[in-house]
Every structure is written in C-alpha cells, then in structure tokens.
C-alpha cells in the first residue's frame, strides 16, 4: 500500500465539501489502494456542522480513510499536507459582483498561502476552487514562495465539463465522445470556451471536428459560448445556491488527471501560471489546455489562434490583470 496521503479540504462544512469528501475518501480520486487522512478546515461557527460531516464519514465505513482531522486552526489544517483543495470562501450569491468577493477573499488566501509556506510539504499540490478562483490561487502562490508555482492550479474543469456537456447534447453523443475542448482565461463570464480544436466521435463511429459535427457556427458563437460562460449564474438563479454536485465532480476530475495523467488523445483545462504561451502575460493565472503526466501539467502548444479567438483571449486576460492588480492592492492594505 502507498504511504498515507494527507488531503486538506477547506470550507469542508459547505455544500461543495459535502458533495466532495466521500469521493476523495472512497479512493475515487487518488486510487483504490491509497490510504487517506482528511484534514478539514472551516471557520469556528461551522465547527458543529463540520463535526457532523466527520460523523457521516465514519458511518460511510471507508477502508481507505485512516483519520479525519476537523479544525478551525490553519496551523493544524495545513500541517504536513500533500494535497490542498481550497474551497472555503465567501460564495457568490444572486446579483453579487465578483469585485465584491475579491477583497473578502484576498484576506483568506493570503493567510492560507502563508500557512502553506509554513506548514505544508514543499511538494504539496494546491487546487483553488473558492472564487475568484484564478486570483485567489495567484495570491496563495505569492505567499508560499518556497513552493513551486507549478504546484498551484485553479478549477476551470467545471467550465470544461460544461462545454463538453453542451456539445454532447447538441450532437447526440455522450460527453466521453467529445474531446479537446478548451477553456481559456478566467473562471468568470469572460472565459472563452473554445471548440475550434475540439473533436466529436459520432454514433456512427466517425470522428469529426466539433465545428463539422455541429454544422452551426452561429450556435457556437451565440448560444454555446454564452451558455457556458453564464452557466454558474443560471444554476444560482434556479437553485438559489451555486453549483455543488457538478463542482465536486469537476474537482475530482481535475485532481485525478493531475495525479494519474490525461488520456493520450485528449487534454483538460486548468488555471495555471502562464509562461507566456499564446501571448498570455507571464505570471498571470490563466486557464489553458493542458496535458498531465508524472503529476505535472504542460500547456498544449501549437494551437492555431485566429483574430476572433485572440480577441476573446485578450478580453479575459484583461479581466485577470485587473483582478490581480486589485488583489495586490488589497494585499497591501
Ligand atoms: P458554501 O458557502 O456552501 O461553503 C463555503 C464554506 O467555506 C463554508 O462552510 C464557510 O464556513 C467556509 N469558509 C469561509 N471562509 C473560510 C475560511 N477562511 N477558511 C475555511 N473555511 C471557510 O459554498 P460552496 O457552495 O461550497 O462554494 C465554495 C466556493 O466555491 C465559493 O467561493 C464558490 O464561489 C466557489 N465555486 C467555484 C467554482 C469553480 O469552478 N472554481 C464552481 C463552484 C463554486 O461556485
């Protein structure tokens, strides 16, 4: 059996935490022979609910789960962890602007970046989910300078999965038959869900480009893109709560692919530190198409970018530059 992994989930008493913890503890993410110790962090008023989550985890009778540490102390939560899933944040409510969220969350991620630096293993892999995810991730990384920036990523896999789901519905196939979709940029409504390199294997067994399979460029530009961009808001409007089940599934997909690698003929979207690829400012935390192997991601290179795509990629980059600048200003206050 492998050495026990210490996996931290913050905001563990929240709705994403509730949907996520079973899958991690059940071996659905790091493998069925990987023992796990869960570190669950939440704020003090949520400790009662968190205790209830621990009781339920015990009642799941999971063979891989070795211990569950519940705490409101970062020093305990971040101690010797191998994986950090930073979910805890103030969630976006109906009508709330992302900017309102920024200042409140910068404080949280500055503190948690510092806790990573001080207490976590230097090999820790960090996935930031709490919004604004890209910028929170950048801030956490900034305050953990001895941990490689490549060990930080933010979740755009939910957007990626949403894009696959929409194409699958449109073309009458399953999501598994849709490959190579890309989410560029920010996990926000400026993101660019890109089908220009995507492929669909039709029911006949024939593989076509997504554009040829869909045969409706107008739908791609005027329905598909806004639907994916605004899906989070549509779910809040319908549920009066933000996505949780699909978010938890996307977190598992992101972590599993980072850990075990992406399939040969596909890629995934992850928010990662830009190395300047595709003209995206170096150091920006931007969602790219990536392939993973040996627990390392690499940005897919050589995709053709036309003027239309460039414009959309720049727009979302610009929003990230503004968020970053506002966040850095808030850090110094
Ligand atoms: P909930 O409000 O249900 O849960 C958040 C939990 O975080 C609460 O238990 C709260 O007490 C805790 N928390 C707050 N501050 C904390 C801190 N400083 N340390 C530890 N815990 C803290 O929200 P939920 O629906 O679970 O969403 C969590 C976050 O995920 C939100 O920021 C949300 O916007 C974000 N999302 C990000 C997505 C992505 O794709 N990147 C998609 C889903 C989701 O909307």
At 194-253, the pLDDT tens digits run 999 999 999 899 999 999 999 999 999 999 999 999 999 999 999 998 899 999 999 999
In this prediction, residue 86 carries a pLDDT of: 98
Which residue has its alpha carbon closest to ligand 1 atom 9? Answer: 14
Whole-number Å distance, alpha carbon 279 to ligand 1 midpoint, is: 32
pTM > 0.80: yes or no: yes
Catalytic annotation, residues = 187
- The pLDDT of residue 332: 82
**Given pLDDT bands bounded at 50, 70 and 90, which one contains residue 102?**
confident
- Is the confidence at residue 288, as pLDDT, over 90? yes
Which residues have C-beta within 8 Å of that of residue 66, sequence separation ≥ 6? 4, 35, 36, 37
Spell 95-121 as b/e; 16+ CB within 10 A means b: eeebeebbeebbebbbebbbbbbebbb
Name the β-bridge partners of 71. 41
pLDDT at 101: 75
Annotation-wise, does 265 bind a ligand?
no
Nearest residue to 255 (alpha-carbon basis) of 110, 12, 87: 87
Over residues 244-283, the pLDDT tens digits come to 999 999 999 999 999 999 999 999 999 999 999 999 999 9
The atom number, within ligand 1, closest to the CA of 159 reads 40
Average pLDDT over residues 144-157: 98
DSSP string, 113-155: HHHHHHHS-TT-EEEE-SSSHHHHHHHHHHT-TTS-GGGEEE-
For residue 331, the model assigns a pLDDT of 86
Q: 104 falls in which pLDDT band (50, 70, 90)?
A: confident
> In angstroms, what is the span from residue 46 Cα to ligand 1's centroid?
12
ipTM of the complex model: 0.99
Residue 100 has a pLDDT of 72
Sign of CA pseudo-dihedral 158, 164, 170, 173: negative
User: What CA–CA distance (Å, rounded) separates 179 from 37?
Assistant: 34
Question: Which residue owns the Cα nearest ligand 1 atom 29?
Answer: 130
Please name each of the domains of the chain with its CATH number.
5-154 (3.40.50.720), 157-323 (3.90.110.10)
Peptide bond into 186 cis (omega under 30): no
Residue 154 CA: which ligand 1 atom is closest? 41
Angle between helices 133-142 and 307-331 (to 10 degrees): 50
The model's confidence at residue 96, banded by pLDDT at 50, 70 and 90, is low
In short, whether 254's Cβ falls inside 6 Å of ligand 1 is: no
- In whole angstroms, give the CA distance from residue 283 to residue 281: 6
Mean pLDDT of the chain: 96
**Residue 57, C-beta contacts closer than 8 angstroms, at least 6 positions apart:** 21, 22, 25, 38, 65, 68
**11 Cβ closer than 6 Å to some ligand 1 atom:** yes
Asked whether the predicted pLDDT for residue 333 surpasses 90, the reply is no
- What's the Cα-to-Cα distance from 217 to each of 13, 188, 220, 227, 255, rounded to whole Å? 43, 23, 5, 15, 33
Ramachandran bin of 283, using left for φ above 0, alpha for ψ from -120 to 50, beta for the remaining angles: left
Instruction: Judge whether residue 317 has pLDDT over 90.
Output: yes
Is 43 near ligand 1, meaning CB less than 6 Å away?
yes
Cβ–Cβ under 8 Å, residues 127 and 100: no
Q: Is 16 in the pocket of ligand 1 (CB under 6 A)?
A: yes
Dump pLDDT digits (tens) for 11-59. 999 999 999 999 999 999 999 999 999 999 999 999 999 999 999 999 9
Distance CA 66, CA 217 (A): 51
70 in contact with ligand 1, CB cutoff 6 A: no
Closest-CA residue, ligand 1 atom 20, reads 42
CA distance 219 to 210: 12
| Predicted pLDDT at 93 | 62
3-state secondary structure of 85: strand
Rounded to whole angstroms, how far apart are CA atoms 124 and 292?
A: 16
């Amino acid at each position: 059996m492998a050495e026990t992994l210490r996996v931290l989930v913050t905001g563990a008493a929240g709705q994403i935490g509730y949907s996520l913890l079973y899958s991690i503890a059940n071996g659905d993410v790091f493998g069925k022979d990987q023992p796990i110790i869960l570190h669950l962090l939440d704020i003090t008023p949520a400790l009662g609910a968190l205790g209830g989550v621990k009781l339920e985890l015990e009642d799941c009778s999971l063979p891989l789960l070795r211990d569950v540490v519940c705490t409101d102390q970062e020093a305990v939560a971040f101690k010797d962890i191998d994986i950090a899933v930073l979910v805890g944040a103030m969630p976006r409510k109906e009508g709330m602007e992302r900017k309102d969220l920024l200042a409140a969350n910068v404080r949280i991620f500055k503190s948690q970046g510092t806790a990573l630096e001080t207490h976590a293993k230097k090999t820790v892999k960090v996935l930031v989910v709490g919004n604004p995810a890209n910028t929170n991730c950048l801030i956490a990384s900034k305050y953990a300078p001895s941990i490689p920036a490549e060990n930080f990523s933010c979740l755009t896999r939910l957007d990626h999965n949403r894009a696959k789901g929409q194409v699958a519905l449109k073309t009458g196939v399953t999501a598994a038959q849709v490959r190579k979709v890309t989410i560029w940029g920010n996990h926000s409504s400026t993101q660019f869900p890109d089908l220009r390199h995507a492929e669909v294997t039709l029911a006949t067994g024939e593989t076509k480009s997504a554009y040829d399979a869909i045969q409706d460029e107008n739908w791609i530009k005027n329905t598909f893109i806004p639907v994916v961009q605004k899906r989070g808001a549509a779910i809040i409007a319908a549920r009066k709560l933000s996505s949780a089940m699909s978010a938890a599934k996307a977190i598992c997909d992101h972590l599993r692919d980072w850990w075990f690698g992406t399939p040969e003929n596909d890629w995934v979207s992850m928010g990662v530190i830009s190395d300047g690829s595709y003209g995206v400012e170096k150091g920006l935390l931007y969602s790219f198409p990536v392939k993973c192997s040996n627990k390392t991601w690499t940005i897919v290179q050589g995709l053709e970018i036309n003027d239309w795509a460039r414009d959309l990629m720049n727009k979302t980059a610009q929003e990230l530059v503004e968020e970053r600048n506002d966040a850095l200003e808030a850090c110094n206050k």
